[in-house]
Structure 1
Amino acid sequence: MNSQLLGVTGALMLIGILLQVWFSDPRRAGRQAAMQLPSVLLYAVAVSLLMFSIFPESYADGRALGFSIGGATAFVLVFTTLSFQWLARAGKRDALEAEVRQARQEVERLNRRLTIVEAAQQPQRLQRTTRAHASIRQDRRHRLGIITGNISNVTGVDVWVNAENVQMEMARPTEPTISGTIRYRGGRRDTAGNLVDDLVYDELREVALRTPVAPATVFTTSSGRLAESNSVKRILHVASVEGSPGTGYRQVADISGCMRNVLAEMDRLNAGGEELRTVVLPLLGTGNGGGDPQRTAQIMVEAALDYFRAHPSSRVRTVYLLAFTDLEEQIVRLVLTEHHDVSGLDPA
């Protein structure tokens, strides 16, 4: 027997075994047939080399309607046939595993929707601030994410977005809204907590000289005292709500444009030398504007993805959607996990 041939045979068998062990990992369930094909082929080649080195005189006689095969040739053929029969059974297991996995995903999806229905009965404010990231398929540069809780507890995000009306009239500091929170916490306060210097509001009035502005218009101001308390670098005010006498406020039609304009403004500021990598936005126009939260979340996620596709070198890294209630959290999680271009949602 040729020692070199025997060594090659042993190496092929070892590689085949190692590949099969690796392919048999439970995490690769559902792909066993396709992934273990290389192992089967390696086994077949190894057995062929081994048997023909032991029985070099093996033969295969041709006949009119087929072949009469004997010796090592017959053994190799039988082994190869059995191997591919095993692969066929593995393929059936893969198909069954795929059906089970699809059923589990459907159950999870229905459970998420049931949770949304339950939360919609009486939405609860989230007291705890958490953060999670979702990767974008075929885009290693950018991410989407969710932040829960009151925005006043959010730290380390470069840009806060204020969903403002087309008049650019910020809410009163005592109102429990993001606009009121930004106005109060961004201003200078005395020892009793009274607002004595309305920094963000005054600056917005200076840049928004003529109002009303067009829907989806974005104005940039400093973050006032939020730079010290929450490490916020900029406030972007986007016109996402419009109102009229007697009917009140309503969500603007171009929520997608609001998202695109916010990201474009961040990239404009980045091009000017600023370092704005992260941004958090509420579900625009779903408060006083009465917009549907799920539809709004879907539009905002799609608009962010479209922007990153069109601007792959954008220096914005992560776009967070803010979930103030348990209902908003379930909605944003559902939108992110069910989107075909978004992969995973992991705690930060």
Structure 2
Amino acid sequence: MKTSVGKTKLEIAVGDITQLEVDAVVAPASVELWMDHGVAAAIKAAGGEAVEKEAVLQGPIKVGEAVITTGHDLKARWVLHVALSESTPAVDAAAIVAATRAALAAAERAHARSVALPAFGTGGGGFPLYQGASLMVTEVAAYLREHPRTALRHVMFSVYGDAARAAFKHALVGLSRF
């Protein structure tokens, strides 16, 4: 499923975010920026310990903020680390919206033309998948409409499994109706 907002293509990629051919990948984390769970752990495993070390030196940050590190051994040039929670894995809607916006703003600061975002908070964070997908897709669209001169040309929602793909497809279909 693909759609566009302005000049930016939005699509779903099923599989390993670390293998995507994008300028930047997003690593969800706590405010301390440790990469020891979920997608962040996968990014650290593929990119090397240096990704986490570089991030932690910039923390702690507030929930909904982002920092940029190099991708080290990843295909992506940049890793955008967003804080989704204080220290517990629980995530709320406001954090997902703020982290989505912060990730896109960080992508712009890095001059990225393409970025891959995982499904924020829907794994270990326990947030409902369909609601999380809807929040993220809606916020990406809002950001792109507010920034029509963005350099971002490709936003990928990197997901695992059929349920996540279906949730993001549902959100993108809803977006394309407007």
| TM-score scaled by length of structure 1 | 0.48
Aligned position for 2:152? 316
Tell me the distance in 2 between the aligned counterparts of 1:206 and 1:166: 12
- Offset of residue 135 of structure 1: 2.4
Contact kept? 1:161, 1:238, Cα under 8 Å: yes
Distance 1:166 1:341 in 2: 36
Q: Which has the higher contact order (CA 8 A, sep 6+)?
A: 2
Does structure 1 retain, via aligned residues, the 8 Å contact 2:85–2:95?
no
Among 130, 149, 153, the alignment partner of 2:15 is 149
Report SS of the residue matched to 1:238. strand
* Secondary structure, counterpart of 2:62 in structure 1: coil
Q: Is 1:216 the counterpart of 2:64 in the alignment?
A: yes
C-alpha contact (below 8 Å) 1:218/1:262 kept by paired residues = yes
Q: Offset of 1:168 from its aligned partner?
A: 1.3
State the match for 1:134 in structure 2: 3
Gap runs ≥5 in structure 2: none
Contact 1:241 1:285 in 2 (8 A): no
Q: Take 1:155 and 1:283, find their aligned partners in 2: how far apart are those partners? A: 15
CA gap 1:292/1:242 in 2 versus in 1, 3 angstroms:
farther
1:259 to 100, 104, 117: 100
Alignment partners' CA distance in 1, 2:20 and 2:176: 30
**1:134 CA drift (Å):** 1.6
Instruction: Give the alignment of 1:223-242 within 5 angstroms.
Output: 223-226=71-74, 230=75, 232-242=76-86
Percent of aligned positions that are identical: 27
Matched, 1:159 2:28: no
Q: Quick one: distance in 1 between partners of 2:97 and 2:136?
A: 6
| Selected match of 2:89 from 223, 240, 249 | 249
The structure richer in helix per residue is 1
Q: How do 1:52-71 and structure 2 match up within 5 A?
A: none
Change (3 A) 1:340 1:183: closer
Contact 1:221 1:235 in 2 (8 A): yes
Paired residue for 2:47? 186
Write the distance in 1 (CA, Å) between the matches of 2:86 and 2:120.
12
Number of aligned residue pairs: give it: 177
Deviation at 1:181, TM superposition (A): 1.3
How far off its partner does 1:179 sit?
A: 1.1
Cα deviation digits, residues 116-145 of structure 1 (max 9, x gap): xxxxxxxxxxxxxxxx53223xx2x11211
Letter in 1 for 2:16: N
**Structure 1: stretches of 5+ with no match in the other structure:** 1-131, 188-197, 271-275, 343-348
Aligned-partner Cα distance in 1 for 2:126–2:86 = 11
One-letter amino acid matched to 2:3: A
The runs of at least 4 aligned residues of structure 1 exceeding 2 Å deviation read 338-342
Q: Secondary structure at the match of 1:135?
A: strand
Matches for 1:14-33 after TM superposition, within 5 Å: none
Aligned residue type for 2:103: V
- Cα distance in 2 for partners of 1:321, 1:332 equals 8
CA distance in 2 between counterparts of 1:155 and 1:303 reads 22
Residue 269 of structure 1, CA deviation = 2.4
Cα separation, 1, equivalents of 2:32 and 2:73: 24
Instruction: Render the CA deviation track for 1:89-111: whole Å, top value 9, x for unaligned.
Output: xxxxxxxxxxxxxxxxxxxxxxx
| Cα distance in 2, alignment partners of residues 179 and 266 from structure 1 | 17
Distance 1:325 1:258 in 2: 22
Choose the corresponding residue for 1:299, options 118, 135, 156: 135
Partner Cα separation in structure 1 for residue 157 and residue 68 of structure 2: 19
Q: Tell me how far apart the structure 2 counterparts of residues 241 and 292 of structure 1 sit (CA, whole Å).
A: 16
| Cα pair distance change 1:277/1:249, threshold 3 Å | same
